Chain A
Amino acid sequence: MDSIDDIVKEFLIEGYENLDRLDHDLMALEEVPDDRNRLSSVFRAIHTIKGTSGFLGFNKLERVAHVGESLLVLLRDGKIRLNSIIATSLLGLVDAVRKIMASIEAGNGEGDADYSELVETLERLQVTGGIEPDMSTATSEAKRASQILDTIAEQVEMLTAASAPATESVTTSAKKPRKGRRKKAAANPIVDEGNVAVAELDASFAKVLNEIDIAPVEPAVAAARPVEASVTSSKPVEVRSEHVPANDGQKNESFEEDSKFGGSNDHEGSDKCQAQSVSDSSVRIDVALLDRLMNLVGELVLARNQILQCSRSTEDPSLLAASQRLNLITSELQEGVMKTRMQPIQNAWAKLPRIVRDLSMTCGKKIQLKMEGAETELDKTILEAIRDPLTHIVRNSVDHGIEAPAVRESRGKSAEGTLMLRAFHEGGQVNIEITDDGGGINLPRVKEKAISQGLITADQAAAMSDRELMNLILLPGFSTAAAVTNISGRGVGMDVVKTNVEKIGGTLDIQSVFGQGTTLRIKIPLTLAIVPALMVSCGNDRYAIPQNSLVELVRLESDRVQHEIEHIHGTPVYRLRGNLLPLLYLDEQLQLRPARTSADLKQDQAINIVVLNAENRQFGLVVDGINDTQEIVVKPLGTHLKKIEAYAGVTIMGDGAVALILDVLGIAKQAHVVSTSRDRSVAQAEITDGLAGDLKQTLLLLGMGTDQRMAIPLSVVARLEEIPIRSVEHADNQQVVQYGGQIMPLIRLGEMLPTEMAGSPTNQTLQVVVFTKEGRSIGLVVDQILDIVETALTVQQTGKRPGVVGSAVIQNRVTDLLDIHKLLSATDNDYFTPAMAV
């Protein structure tokens, strides 16, 4: 039983492979119908499927494949020429075969779907050569043809009186002109019998044919000639039954004309099978076997490492030489085995042309699909994982992105839309871009829709940047499509795409210009099996942190730990360039020790902070030691431990020890870094602004007096102005100027913070730093505006004067840091309410 199953399995694997190629080949043939090599290849693929399925007793599959094969024989021998109608039917055949095979694979036998319609179509095409307006692709033409048929029927009816048998044969001949023509020779001896009707019929046909102005029907003129002759046939009914085995007799379907490629009969199918060399030179291998090989190679690497270690302590030159060789060979072997898992992205793209073709036909759009970088390789598991997301994105682009031809033209674009797929390696990652030149994303509509669907509130929407708005389309349940089509627009999709991409450690980014198109960029790691990771230690244990979430490493010496790690109600934070970085202690997160108290911290030695990024929120993971970075082979955790969010997997280190791989997102979630992020970002703004710590920020440098320097965070400054001294007026015992239609009070910094020497008020203009809050402005008059610098601040001395936070060395000069908030509120209590951050 096993051997049979194996054969079936092999048949299925081979079959799927063939089918994928068929899709591709058939579409290529649509472009170049006379490519004999390709036709032969298509023929062979179907032939193989037919042969094997017959052998294995899959009768339905055999039957379907058989009719396809018969049609392909005619195509291959040049008896008929491939056109889009034939291609559509053949693609339908491929689908049917795929469906049956899927059913076999699922263990349901061949399934109970009915393919007789497909079989009929294919059989009919063998006769007609596909020169018929097809209902599905050219409804309007079919309708027109149907009308013409009606006319013909009328004409024929008129003739009935003249010759009853002739009438019957007209109908038949119209259906089967090709056969009719063959009949011509046979009918010659009895031509006279029906000659009464010929002249009249000819005239009627000419009349009818004048009405036929649509392209596919033009050859009817030629076709009409054999009809004349076959009118005289005495046995029309036989002709019908012979060649239309299961015709449902619909008028539009029976309207067929002779092949305009009738001449191609003369072509010989001379070029016989040329084997495709690629498939001959490759071997199919079970992925499980590859995985095993991979494991073994990993083991070999470990054994090699041990031998290398031993060989260092030996003097034996032959052992040294041998171990060196072992070293080299192992490395090459490792590389080679890794490569076997790599596949070109083409494999995931192969189905897309077909999808685009079918979809664009259904939507009535013209779309050109371009592919670039199809040879870019990535790991098979990743390839499988992005297949569906890619398909979904392409569907979206075709359905929603690219506009209908008329719309495109009205917008000044070419009627044919372009969908571009690009893949390339960059920085150890694979980038995949899907670009369309369609309508782009209508942000106001996205906003409107998101609000109406209750995904965000109007207030939130108002505060969102374009980029954030763009990302709304990735939210579950979101859809801007005005109408839900059967292709997409049901609001499930982009969120699933995002989830799938993130599952494999990738990122999804959307860029769109309204009216010009959309680009989706997917960044995914080359392989999931091997990732670069930072090894850290915690106690005696080692842990691996995948580098894709790593931002930076910070080391704090013990003297800095005590005052730079601050606590908000027991929660440790660190100021990293002005932003509060929540700190998590790895050993605490892993429950290896109870949470630290502030007393514990005092004894702390220097600490290492690994700054990590989880869902765009940064947090610091405090570890005992930072070892090195290395490429690690990711192995899944056993089912017992999968539930633990903190781990992403395990790996085996160079020395054979097992190390757990930390799941950064999992840890962040466990510690609520991610869920509470929104509130925190607000709090963060309040805490950091106006304060000076060890933060890197942009500062406005001011000069006061002779050589005193002061600094203000640039972020609180609205404008810098030069105001002529004569425009200064007085109101309410205060210096004011008219500024932007308002009265702006002026404060002299020199008066607030007396400097060693009063500035020179003899200047004709005042240098004013303008602060604005809620439509009200206040001007700070300073002596000089020196520079704008971005610098990391180390406050060296706490300010003693009110209004000064402290001093720092900026540009090698001691500079006072001003507390603008205090300065201004001291002047004007109404101006800045205490809770308000400047």
Chain B
Amino acid sequence: MSAVCQLCTFYLDDLYFGVDVQKIQEVIRYQVMTRVPLAPPVVRGLINLRGQIVTAIDMRRRLGMPALPEGKLPMNVVIRTDDGPVSLLVDEIGDVLEVREETYERPPETLHGAARELVLGAYKLSGQLLLTLDSDRAVSVNFDQHE
């Protein structure tokens, strides 16, 4: 890992997350989704991204957070995976930040719940913490959770 790395940032409720810019395909505003009955609840639907079908994962549900208030539409952070692009639905998009490795720290052991498996660590920025998200895990949907 180089000393400096660029993270694309976004907000989920009061949490500030970052994903390596290299993994991001694009960031787009809310898109009409087609819901997929029978799918795990974290799968919010399918998006037509210029002819490509992209599965949208509701990150709030993934992290066990309450749903976005009525009338507020999520944004799409489309990340590249081995199985094609997947969209993460987030509240808001932040800037692309350059972070230094020396400010990085692993998450505390006391972190619990879904966040524990998805948060890789935190960059200590002035005033707030930027959490790095394990995007591969975030998009892996466990069918056993369903039902």
On A, residues with C-beta under 8 Å from B are 295-296, 298-299, 302, 541, 590-592, 635, 637-641, 643-644, 646-647, 650, 652, 656-660
- Nearest-neighbor residue (CB-CB) of A294 within chain B: B51
Question: In this complex, which of B34, B55, B139 has the most chain A Cβ atoms within 10 angstroms of its Cβ?
Answer: B34
B102 within 8 A of partner (CB): no
- Nearest-neighbor residue (CB-CB) of B52 within chain A: A295
Q: Give, as a whole number of angstroms, the nearest-CB distance from B129 to chain A.
A: 29
Q: How far is the CA of A657 from the CA of B35 in the complex (A)?
A: 11
The reply to whether A295 and B53 contact each other, CB–CB distance below 8 Å, is no
Q: A640-B141, A660-B36 are in contact. List 18 more A-B contacts (CB 8 A).
A: A299-B50, A590-B37, A590-B38, A591-B38, A638-B53, A640-B43, A643-B143, A644-B38, A647-B36, A650-B34, A650-B46, A650-B53, A652-B48, A658-B34, A658-B45, A658-B46, A658-B53, A660-B34
The reply to whether B47 and A591 contact each other, CB–CB distance below 8 Å, is no
Q: How far is the CA of A348 from the CA of B86 in the complex (A)?
A: 36
With a CB–CB cut-off of 8 A, which chain B residues contact A658? 33-34, 45-48, 53
With a CB–CB cut-off of 8 A, which chain B residues contact A635? 53
Q: How far is the CA of A643 from the CA of B34 in the complex (A)?
A: 18
Given A638-B86, A643-B143, A658-B46, A298 and B51 touching (CB < 8 A)? Answer: yes
With a CB–CB cut-off of 8 A, which chain B residues contact A299? 50-51
Task: Pull 15 A–B residue pairs with CB atoms less than 8 Å apart, ordered by A.
Answer: A299-B50, A591-B37, A592-B37, A639-B83, A640-B39, A640-B40, A640-B86, A640-B139, A640-B141, A641-B39, A644-B36, A652-B53, A656-B48, A658-B48, A659-B34
Which residues 25-63 in B have Cβ within 8 Å of A in the complex? Answer: 32-40, 43, 45-48, 50-55, 57
- Nearest-neighbor residue (CB-CB) of A639 within chain B: B83
Q: How far is the CA of A295 from the CA of B53 in the complex (A)?
A: 11
Q: How far is the CA of A652 from the CA of B34 in the complex (A)?
A: 10
Q: How far is the CA of A541 from the CA of B45 in the complex (A)?
A: 12
Q: How far is the CA of A635 from the CA of B46 in the complex (A)?
A: 12
Q: Give, as a whole number of angstroms, the nearest-CB distance from A56 to chain B.
A: 30
- Nearest-neighbor residue (CB-CB) of A638 within chain B: B55
User: Contact check: which of A302, A639, A641 meets B36 at CB < 8 Å?
Assistant: A641
Q: How far is the CA of A656 from the CA of B52 in the complex (A)?
A: 11
Q: Give, as a whole number of angstroms, the nearest-CB distance from B2 to chain A.
A: 24
With a CB–CB cut-off of 8 A, which chain A residues contact B141? 640
Given A638-B84, A658-B46, A644 and B35 touching (CB < 8 A)? Answer: no
The reply to whether A657 and B37 contact each other, CB–CB distance below 8 Å, is no
Q: How far is the CA of A580 from the CA of B92 in the complex (A)?
A: 54
The reply to whether B51 and A295 contact each other, CB–CB distance below 8 Å, is yes
- Nearest-neighbor residue (CB-CB) of A301 within chain B: B51
The reply to whether B48 and A646 contact each other, CB–CB distance below 8 Å, is no
On B, residues with C-beta under 8 Å from A are 32-40, 43, 45-48, 50-55, 57, 83-84, 86, 139, 141, 143
Q: Give, as a whole number of angstroms, the nearest-CB distance from A659 to chain B.
A: 7
Q: How far is the CA of A143 from the CA of B24 in the complex (A)?
A: 73
Q: How far is the CA of A639 from the CA of B39 in the complex (A)?
A: 12
- Nearest-neighbor residue (CB-CB) of B40 within chain A: A640
With a CB–CB cut-off of 8 A, which chain B residues contact A298? 51
With a CB–CB cut-off of 8 A, which chain A residues contact B37? 541, 590-592, 646
Q: How far is the CA of A541 from the CA of B38 in the complex (A)?
A: 14
Q: Give, as a whole number of angstroms, the nearest-CB distance from B48 to chain A.
A: 5
With a CB–CB cut-off of 8 A, which chain B residues contact A296? 51
The reply to whether B84 and A657 contact each other, CB–CB distance below 8 Å, is no
User: Contact check: which of B47, B51, B55 meets A640 at CB < 8 Å?
Assistant: B55
Q: Give, as a whole number of angstroms, the nearest-CB distance from B146 to chain A.
A: 10
With a CB–CB cut-off of 8 A, which chain A residues contact B83? 638-639
With a CB–CB cut-off of 8 A, which chain B residues contact A295? 51-52
- Nearest-neighbor residue (CB-CB) of A642 within chain B: B83
- Nearest-neighbor residue (CB-CB) of B141 within chain A: A640
With a CB–CB cut-off of 8 A, which chain A residues contact B48? 652, 656-658
Q: How far is the CA of A591 from the CA of B38 in the complex (A)?
A: 7
Q: Give, as a whole number of angstroms, the nearest-CB distance from A548 to chain B.
A: 22
Q: How far is the CA of A637 from the CA of B84 in the complex (A)?
A: 11
With a CB–CB cut-off of 8 A, which chain B residues contact A302? 51
Q: Give, as a whole number of angstroms, the nearest-CB distance from B29 to chain A.
A: 15
With a CB–CB cut-off of 8 A, which chain B residues contact A639? 83
Q: Give, as a whole number of angstroms, the nearest-CB distance from A666 to chain B.
A: 10
With a CB–CB cut-off of 8 A, which chain A residues contact B139? 640
Q: Give, as a whole number of angstroms, the nearest-CB distance from B82 to chain A.
A: 9
With a CB–CB cut-off of 8 A, which chain B residues contact A638? 53-55, 83-84, 86
With a CB–CB cut-off of 8 A, which chain B residues contact A591? 37-38
- Nearest-neighbor residue (CB-CB) of A633 within chain B: B51
Q: How far is the CA of A637 from the CA of B83 in the complex (A)?
A: 10
Q: How far is the CA of A657 from the CA of B53 in the complex (A)?
A: 10
Q: Give, as a whole number of angstroms, the nearest-CB distance from A538 to chain B.
A: 9
With a CB–CB cut-off of 8 A, which chain B residues contact A656? 48
Query: What 5 pairs across the A-B complex have the smallest Cβ distances?
Result: A590-B37, A658-B34, A638-B55, A639-B83, A299-B51
Q: How far is the CA of A644 from the CA of B43 in the complex (A)?
A: 12
The reply to whether A652 and B51 contact each other, CB–CB distance below 8 Å, is yes
Q: How far is the CA of A382 from the CA of B17 in the complex (A)?
A: 45
With a CB–CB cut-off of 8 A, which chain B residues contact A660? 34, 36, 46
Q: Give, as a whole number of angstroms, the nearest-CB distance from B123 to chain A.
A: 29
With a CB–CB cut-off of 8 A, which chain A residues contact B84? 638
With a CB–CB cut-off of 8 A, which chain B residues contact A644? 36, 38-39
Q: How far is the CA of A295 from the CA of B49 in the complex (A)?
A: 11
Q: How far is the CA of A299 from the CA of B50 in the complex (A)?
A: 7
Q: How far is the CA of A217 from the CA of B86 in the complex (A)?
A: 73
- Nearest-neighbor residue (CB-CB) of B46 within chain A: A658
- Nearest-neighbor residue (CB-CB) of A302 within chain B: B51
With a CB–CB cut-off of 8 A, which chain A residues contact B39? 640-641, 644
With a CB–CB cut-off of 8 A, which chain A residues contact B143? 643
With a CB–CB cut-off of 8 A, which chain A residues contact B57? 640
- Nearest-neighbor residue (CB-CB) of A587 within chain B: B37
Q: Give, as a whole number of angstroms, the nearest-CB distance from B86 to chain A.
A: 7
Q: How far is the CA of A27 from the CA of B141 in the complex (A)?
A: 54
Q: How far is the CA of A360 from the CA of B60 in the complex (A)?
A: 66
The reply to whether B32 and A641 contact each other, CB–CB distance below 8 Å, is no
Q: How far is the CA of A637 from the CA of B53 in the complex (A)?
A: 8
Q: Give, as a whole number of angstroms, the nearest-CB distance from B21 to chain A.
A: 23
Q: How far is the CA of A309 from the CA of B57 in the complex (A)?
A: 33
Q: Give, as a whole number of angstroms, the nearest-CB distance from B79 to chain A.
A: 13
Q: How far is the CA of A105 from the CA of B57 in the complex (A)?
A: 38
With a CB–CB cut-off of 8 A, which chain B residues contact A647? 36
With a CB–CB cut-off of 8 A, which chain A residues contact B46? 650, 658, 660
Q: Give, as a whole number of angstroms, the nearest-CB distance from A296 to chain B.
A: 7
Q: How far is the CA of A371 from the CA of B55 in the complex (A)?
A: 46
Q: How far is the CA of A646 from the CA of B55 in the complex (A)?
A: 17
Q: How far is the CA of A592 from the CA of B57 in the complex (A)?
A: 19
